[in-house]
Amino acid sequence: MTKEELDLQVLFESWAGEKPLRITPLPGSGSNRCYYRIEGESKHAMGAYHPEDRENTAFIFFTKYFHKQGLPVPELYAVNEPNHIYLLQDLGDLTLFSYLTEKRKDESEFPAELAGIYKKVIHWLPAFQILASAKLDYSVCYPRAAFDRQSMMWDLNYFKYYFLKLARVPFDEQKLEDDFITLTDFLLQAGNDYFMFRDFQSRNIMLVNDEPWFIDYQGGRKGPLQYDIVSLLYDAKAVIPQKTRNDLLSTYLDELETHIHINSKNFLKYYHGFVLIRILQAMGAYGFRGYYENKSHFLKSIPYAVENLKLLLDDNILTIHIPELVQVLGKIIEDPAFSRYKATESDLLVEITSFSYKNQIPEDQSGNGGGFVFDCRALPNPGRFEEYREFSGKDKPVIDFLQKEREVEKFLNSATVMVDQSIQNFITRNFTHLMVSFGCTGGRHRSVYCAEEMAKHIGTKYPVQLLLQHKELPDNQ
């Protein structure tokens, strides 16, 4: 047993008056929080461990407060703050997302039964946003008490650094920053006087006897009304048809009217701006988890987010002038690399990297070990010639130079045979990660060219996910 499991066992015994028969770790998600299903002779609970004290404090406070208000959240059974653990009511395993996946035959349909469940979810949302927020102490919120300018800029920079830069989408840094400020100034005009879940999406809504229960609100804070309904309706992999989104938005506005009077025209004025910032925040998360942490299943959400961006830009419904951001989003929409993940039939991620032997050989972050490291230093080196030194292996002069060399062709053919054998084997065995690295002296010419050629070969031949990185090239090159 881990220390966390031993601590949870003691806490469960203290609460239940009996020893647990089983403590079962549950699959991880996007956070560092760990969940365990704990079963005793007559009682059972969900155990949670998270080392971040302030986030735990926020979750525990919100849970007690919402439960006291009669809202459908899990009951809190016991807490041990020094050990960062607590026990909750076990709501089962059926999330709204898994229910949605089960009920749909394909992404083009949205059965009435499913729409009915979404309407039940929407019925509760204003109760949290308006009724529960009336006497809520926002000082416990983590990391911010409100979805303010700082929060918005964090989200936009999350998108910039963890999606645009890691995916190597080119942009003008200053112009993009100016557009971020324009977008933030606009959204702040919507007001932020209500409780905002922050991550109100289908994986954070449990279904018990066809009724919704709500979890993962520890990032809640004071915010605008628009954000949570946007998070629900533009939840990337839920793929809600646009007509259904519009119908559910109308349902939400009707529910709001039973609590407060709102100006629908003013609400909708800011609505699509929040659609945009929510999609960008989600893409930042996909980039961080997928590109940076090598959790390949997050990359599969990218094409769905891109489709949502396309709808937003095609309808031309953004009322603010953000030309650089629109141009960057256009590049993402047009790049077929981002749609490749959606068509992937295998969970295998092939990570291709170029590097310099003057620096460290790329480390395997997946924990699997293995893969290939190909030494390109025996190949003809364009870097020895003055006319090629300012170029890289992605530039036409260097490409032309290397394509004329028979030794380079033989080298790549041999490397391809070995890599093909591994990919074919790994797909049949449901492996999830393969590293292929190319090194040369400076890491700018031969290794970059070979990595690019290998990526082209694999991308056109196999239904796998690709992550291509050049360690010695600038972020935006």
Residue-wise pLDDT for 230-265, tens only, equals 999 999 889 999 999 999 999 999 999 999 999 999
**For position 229, which CATH number holds?**
3.90.1200.10
Query: Are residues 41 and 166 part of one domain?
Result: no
> Which residue among 88, 119, 138 closes a domain?
88
- Exposed / middle / buried, residue 242 (Cβ in 10 Å: 0-12, 13-18, 19+): exposed
Nearest to 216 by CA among 198, 234, 193, 194: 198
What's residue 132's pLDDT? Answer: 75
Tokens of 77: 């059974």
Judgement on whether residues 143 and 273 belong to the same structural domain of the protein: yes
Do 326 and 236 fall into the same domain?
yes
476 belongs to a structural domain: no
* Structural domain ending residue among the three candidates 62, 88, 114: 88
* Domain match, 392 and 424 both: yes
pLDDT score for 300: 79
Instruction: List, in order, residues 6 or more apart from 190 with CB less than 8 Å away.
Output: 224, 225, 226, 269, 270, 273, 274
pLDDT of residue 376: 97
Q: How far is the C-alpha of 5 from the C-alpha of 25, rounded, in Å?
A: 9
- Whether 34 and 169 map to the same domain: the answer is no
State the pLDDT at residue 341.
64
Q: For residue 372, give the nearest of 435, 284, 462 by alpha carbon.
A: 435
Torsion sign (Cα): 72, 74, 76, 79 = negative
Cβ-based neighbours of 166, under 8 Å, separated by 6 or more: 287, 291, 292
Give residue 195's domain range.
Answer: 96-343
Same domain, 159 and 307: yes
Dig out the tokens for 221 from the structure.
């804070």
Q: Is residue 477 part of a domain?
A: no
User: Which residues does 224 contact at the CB level (< 8 Å), separation at least 6?
Assistant: 147, 187, 190, 191, 192, 194, 196, 270, 274
Tell me the residue length of the chain: 477
Q: Are residues 304 and 391 in the same domain?
A: no
Q: Structural domain tally of the chain?
A: 3
Q: Are strands 465-470 and 349-356 parallel, antiparallel or unpaired?
A: parallel
Beta-bridged to residue 350, according to DSSP, are: 434, 466
Residue 418 exposure: Cα atoms within 13 Å on the Cβ side? 14
For residues 274 and 323, state if they share a domain: yes
Q: What is the CATH number of the domain that holds 15?
A: 3.30.200
CA neighbor of 281 nearest in space, from 240, 340, 319, 236: 236
The DSSP symbol for 163 reads: I
Residue 318 maps to a domain? yes
The list of the chain residues with pLDDT below 70 reads 27-31, 294, 296, 340-346, 367-369, 475-477
Same domain, 8 and 129: no
How far are the Cα atoms of 167, 281, 308 from residue 329, in angstroms, in the given order? 13, 13, 11
- Listed residues 307, 326, 343: the one ending a domain: 343
| Beta-carbon count within 10 A of 315 CB | 10
Closest CA to 313 of 290, 334, 330: 330
One domain, residues 332 and 355: no
Tell me if 275 is assigned to some domain: yes
**Nearest residue to 281 via CA among 310, 300, 301:** 301
pLDDT value for 476: 38
CA–CA distance, 469 with 286 (Å, rounded to integer): 16
Beta bridge partners of 206: 95, 213
Do 284 and 395 lie in one domain? The reply is no
Q: Are 112 and 254 found together in one domain? A: yes
